[in-house]
Amino acid sequence: QVQLVESGGGLVQAGGSLRLSCAASGRTVSIYAMGWFRQAPGKEREFVGRIRWSGDSTIYADSVKGRFTISRDNAKNTVYLQMNSQKPEDTAVYYCETKKCYLVDYDSWGQGTQVTVSL
């Protein structure tokens, strides 16, 4: 089992930046990829992006491409979500999640961290 703890959320003005962290512990050898998702009030959970646990392959949702960057520190078992040029529509609870291989769903997630972008 993998345990995930997100941190770094907060309040930022539009155009500003925040960096979220997701620290993984437990059976990290089983991780194939870590993804970031977000959910705004009254809206469906939305995929933000993901990074492979080995290698540097990343993919992003169109809504964040060019503004958000996912990176990984293997020594710390931590993945980061750097969010730049933030917009009010980025306001949501952000979750990191992991999956064991390409074909399965994400099956471990953290408690989430709130990001609020004000005008």
Mean residue pLDDT of the chain comes to: 95
The answer to whether the Cα torsion of 106, 107, 109, 115 is positive or negative is positive
Which residue shows structure tokens 């962290």? 21
Amino acid 15: pLDDT: 98
Half-sphere exposure of 23 (CA within 13 A, CB side): 6
Structure confidence by residue, pLDDT tens digits, 22-72: 999 999 999 999 999 999 999 999 999 999 998 789 999 999 999 999 999
Please give the radius of gyration of the chain, using alpha carbons only, rounded to the nearest integer. 13
Structure confidence by residue, pLDDT tens digits, 6-16: 999 999 999 99
Amino acid 35: pLDDT: 96
